[in-house]
C-alpha cells in the first residue's frame, strides 16, 4: 500500500477497508485528464513563483514519461495505490525526487478529482455529440429516399392516418437533434474550472485561477470553492441528457421490433444485426433493438443512482461522491455503444415498401379525408364525422374499405358524394394534400429535409466550438 497520507496514523489500514476505499480500479480511466490538470497546475505555480521553472519542467517531463510507460505496458497501474492521483504522484517522486513532492502544492485531491471528471466529461459530451451526428445523417439520407414511401401513422398503436417513411423518421431526426442541443447546453454550463479550490476553502498561496482555467480551455474558474469541490450537477445534467437519448433510442427500438414482427413485416433487419434461436430454426430475432431498449434501464439507473447519492451530502466534499464514477462511466459506454450499433442497424435495414403501403391502405386511414371531402362539399364537420363513422361500421360488416363501396352505396349515406371521392381518398391524395408546416406532404417534407441538411452542415462548427485541448 502506498498512500499519500500516513503521518498521523499509527496503525495499518484493514485490507478490506483499503480495497473498499480505493478508487484506482475505475479512476485509472482518468489518467490522461489527471496529467493534463497537473501540467496546467504546475505551469501556473511556476508563473506565480511558487515553484521554479526548472521544477515545473522536471514535473512535466516526469509525468510524460509515466504516461508513455503506461501506454507501452512498461508500468502497470496496480491497487497498491489508492487512486490515480496517488499512483501518479508516487511514481513521479520515484522518478524525479524532491521536485515531484512539490506538484501537489496548493491543491487537494478534492479539487483535483473535480477537475479530472470535468475534463473527462467534457470530452465525452463531445464524442456523444459526434455519435449523434451519425444517426442524424443516416436518418436524413433515408428520408431523402422515402418521400413517397407510404405507411400508416398510428395513435394508440391503431392505424390513424397515412404518412410517409420520411415523415416518420423525420420525427426521430427532431428528437436526436434536440438531444445534440441538450449536450451543447450541458457543455456550456460545465465548462468552468474547479482547480484552485483546494480541499474546500481555497488556499493561501497566490494561485492564478484564471490562468489555469485559460490553460485548460475553460470559460473561467468556478465561483465558489465549496461548491467547486462538491458540485456534481453537471454530471446529473449529462446523465439526464444521456437518459433522454436512450429514451428516444428505446422508443425507436420498440418500433423496429414491431415493424420486424411477422404480422407487420415492414422491415427486414440485416443478418449482421440479428440473431437466431438455439431451438427454433426459423427464428431471426431483433436482439440489438431489444438490447438497446433493455439497456435504457441501466442508463436511467445511473441517473437515479447519482441523484440519490447526492441528496443527503452536507457541504463540502464527502467520500460518497466517489460513487459518481462507475455509474457515469458505464452509462457513457452504454450510450455510445447503443448509438453506434443502432445507427448501423438502421443504415442496413431494408424497408418493405409494398407491405407498408398495403398496410396504409387497410384500416380506414382514409376516414378523416373522407370526412374532409364532405366538409368541402358543405357538410358541417361534426355531421361529416358521423356519416363517415356509419360508413366505417357498414364496411366492417361487409369486410371492405370505404373506396370499395359503389357511388350509389355512398350516396345512400350522403347525397354530397360524387365520383371524385375515390381520388380524394386515395393514399396519394391523403398524403400529398397534407401541406401544413411539419406535415408529411412531400412538398413540405422537402423543406424539412433542406433544413436538416443545413443543420447537419452547421453541426461540426457547433461541436468544434467546444475546445478541450
Ligand atoms: N477518489 C476520490 C473521489 O473519487 C478522490 C478524492 C479524494 N478526496 C478525499 N478527500 N479523500 O472522489
Residues 212-226: tens digit of each pLDDT: 999 999 999 999 999
Residue nearest atom 10 of ligand 1, based on CA coordinates: 110
Q: Are 187 and 334 members of one domain? A: yes
End residue of a domain, out of 54, 72, 105: 105
C-alpha cell recorded at residue 393 = 361500421
Question: Does any domain span residue 452?
Answer: no
Phi/psi at 56 (nearest 5 deg)?
-55, -50
Catalytic residues: 156, 277
Ligand 1 centroid to 213 CA: how many Å? 21
End residue of a domain, out of 52, 74, 105: 105
Low-confidence ranges of the chain (pLDDT < 50): none
Pocket test for ligand 1, best of 113, 121, 228, 326 (most atoms within 8 A of CB): 113
Q: Are 195 and 210 members of one domain? A: yes
Q: Are 182 and 269 members of one domain? A: yes
Residue nearest atom 12 of ligand 1, based on CA coordinates: 322
Ligand 1 centroid to 329 CA: how many Å? 17
C-alpha cell recorded at residue 274 = 440479428
Q: Give the domain CATH number at 412.
A: 1.10.40.30
Q: Are 326 and 246 members of one domain? A: yes
Which atom belonging to ligand 1 lies closest to the Cα atom of 325?
4
Contact 41, 213 (CB under 8 A): no
Give which of 85, 88, 89 is closest to 101, Cα–Cα.
89
Question: Does any domain span residue 460?
Answer: no
Q: Are 88 and 138 members of one domain? A: no
Question: Does any domain span residue 151?
Answer: yes
CA 271 → CA 252, 265, 285, 295, distances in Å? 19, 15, 10, 22
Pairs from 413-417 (Cβ < 8 Å, separation ≥ 24): 413/387, 414/374, 414/379, 414/387, 416/374, 416/377, 416/378, 416/379, 417/374
Q: Are 250 and 134 members of one domain? A: yes
Q: Are 75 and 150 members of one domain? A: no
Pocket test for ligand 1, best of 33, 83, 328 (most atoms within 8 A of CB): 83
Pocket test for ligand 1, best of 319, 325, 326, 327 (most atoms within 8 A of CB): 319
Pocket test for ligand 1, best of 23, 28, 194 (most atoms within 8 A of CB): 23
Q: Are 97 and 231 members of one domain? A: no
Q: Give the domain CATH number at 346.
A: 1.20.200.10
Distant-in-sequence, close-in-space partners of 136: CB < 8 Å, separation ≥ 6: 173, 176, 177, 180, 452, 455, 456, 459
Which atom belonging to ligand 1 lies closest to the Cα atom of 319?
12
What digits encode the pLDDT tens for the residues 244-264? 999 999 999 999 999 999 999
Alpha carbon distance 368, 165 (integer Å) = 20
Residue nearest atom 3 of ligand 1, based on CA coordinates: 322
CA 243 → CA 16, 106, 295, 462, distances in Å? 34, 37, 10, 22
Pocket of ligand 1 (CB under 6 A): 23, 27, 83, 109-110, 113, 317, 319, 321-322
Q: Are 257 and 118 members of one domain? A: yes
Question: Does any domain span residue 66?
Answer: yes
CB atoms under 10 Å from CB of 338, counted, come to 25
End residue of a domain, out of 352, 384, 407: 352
Question: Does any domain span residue 465?
Answer: no
Ligand 1 centroid to 323 CA: how many Å? 10
Q: Are 287 and 252 members of one domain? A: yes
Q: Give the domain CATH number at 88.
A: 1.10.275.10
Question: Does any domain span residue 115?
Answer: yes
Domain containing 85: what range?
6-105
Which atom belonging to ligand 1 lies closest to the Cα atom of 199?
10
Question: Does any domain span residue 24?
Answer: yes
Ligand 1 centroid to 45 CA: how many Å? 22
Residue 462's pLDDT is: 80
Residue nearest atom 4 of ligand 1, based on CA coordinates: 322
Ligand 1 centroid to 365 CA: how many Å? 60
Ligand 1 centroid to 332 CA: how many Å? 21
Question: Does any domain span residue 136?
Answer: yes
- State the total domains in the chain: 3
Residue 7's pLDDT is: 75
Ligand 1 centroid to 64 CA: how many Å? 23
Residue 1's pLDDT is: 67
Residue 282's pLDDT is: 82
Ligand 1 centroid to 322 CA: how many Å? 6
Q: Are 146 and 99 members of one domain? A: no
Helices (H), 193-323: 209-215, 225-230, 233-260, 287-310
Q: Are 301 and 372 members of one domain? A: no
Residue nearest atom 2 of ligand 1, based on CA coordinates: 322
Amino acid at each position: 500500500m502506498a498512500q499519500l497520507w500516513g503521518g498521523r496514523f499509527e496503525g495499518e489500514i484493514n485490507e478490506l477497508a483499503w480495497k473498499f476505499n480505493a478508487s484506482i480500479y475505475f479512476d485509472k480511466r482518468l489518467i490522461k485528464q489527471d496529467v493534463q490538470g497537473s501540467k496546467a497546475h504546475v505551469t501556473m505555480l511556476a508563473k506565480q513563483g511558487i515553484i521554479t521553472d526548472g521544477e515545473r519542467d522536471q514535473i512535466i517531463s516526469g509525468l510524460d514519461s509515466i504516461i508513455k510507460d503506461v501506454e507501452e505496458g512498461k508500468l502497470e497501474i496496480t491497487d497498491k495505490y489508492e487512486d490515480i492521483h496517488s499512483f501518479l504522484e508516487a511514481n513521479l517522486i520515484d522518478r524525479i525526487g524532491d521536485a515531484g513532492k512539490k506538484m501537489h502544492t496548493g491543491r487537494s485531491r478534492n479539487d483535483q478529482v473535480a477537475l479530472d471528471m470535468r475534463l473527462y466529461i467534457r470530452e465525452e459530451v463531445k464524442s456523444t455529440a459526434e455519435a449523434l451526428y451519425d444517426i442524424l445523417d443516416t436518418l436524413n439520407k433515408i428520408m431523402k429516399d422515402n418521400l413517397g414511401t407510404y405507411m400508416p401513422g398510428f395513435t394508440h398503436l391503431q392505424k390513424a392516418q397515412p404518412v410517409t417513411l420520411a415523415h416518420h423518421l423525420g420525427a426521430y431526426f427532431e428528437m436526436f437533434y434536440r438531444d445534440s442541443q441538450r449536450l451543447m447546453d450541458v457543455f456550456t454550463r460545465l465548462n468552468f474550472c474547479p482547480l484552485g479550490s483546494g480541499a474546500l476553502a481555497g488556499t493561501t498561496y497566490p494561485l492564478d485561477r484564471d490562468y489555469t482555467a485559460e490553460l485548460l480551455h475553460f470559460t473561467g474558474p468556478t465561483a465558489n470553492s465549496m461548491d467547486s469541490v462538491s458540485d456534481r450537477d453537471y454530471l446529473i445534467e449529462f446523465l439526464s441528457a444521456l437518459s433522454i437519448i436512450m429514451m428516444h433510442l428505446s422508443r425507436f427500438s420498440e418500433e423496429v421490433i414491431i415493424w420486424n414482427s411477422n404480422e407487420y413485416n415492414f422491415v427486414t433487419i440485416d443478418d449482421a444485426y440479428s440473431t437466431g434461436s438455439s431451438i427454433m430454426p426459423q427464428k431471426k430475432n431483433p436482439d440489438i433493438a431489444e438490447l438497446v431498449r433493455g439497456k435504457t434501464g441501466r442508463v436511467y439507473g445511473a441517473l437515479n443512482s447519482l441523484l440519490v447519492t447526492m441528496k443527503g451530502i452536507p457541504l463540502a466534499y464527502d467520500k460518497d461522491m466517489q460513487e459518481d464514477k462507475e455509474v457515469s462511466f458505464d452509462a457513457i459506454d452504454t450510450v455510445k455503444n447503443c448509438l453506434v450499433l443502432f445507427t448501423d442497424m438502421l443504415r442496413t435495414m431494408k424497408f418493405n415498401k409494398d407491405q407498408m403501403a398495403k398496410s396504409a391502405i387497410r384500416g380506414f386511414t382514409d376516414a378523416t379525408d373522407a370526412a374532409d371531402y364532405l366538409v368541402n362539399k358543405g357538410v358541417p364537420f361534426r355531421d361529416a364525422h358521423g356519416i363517415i363513422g356509419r360508413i366505417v361500421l357498414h364496411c366492417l360488416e361487409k369486410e371492405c374499405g370505404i373506396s370499395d363501396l359503389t357511388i350509389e352505396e355512398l350516396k345512400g349515406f350522403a347525397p354530397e358524394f360524387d365520383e371524385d371521392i375515390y381520388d380524394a381518398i386515395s393514399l396519394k391524395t391523403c398524403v400529398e394534400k397534407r401541406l401544413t408546416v411539419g406535415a408529411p406532404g412531400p412538398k413540405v417534407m422537402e423543406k424539412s429535409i433542406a433544413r436538416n441538411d443545413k443543420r447537419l452542415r452547421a453541426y461540426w462548427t457547433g461541436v468544434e466550438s467546444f475546445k478541450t485541448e
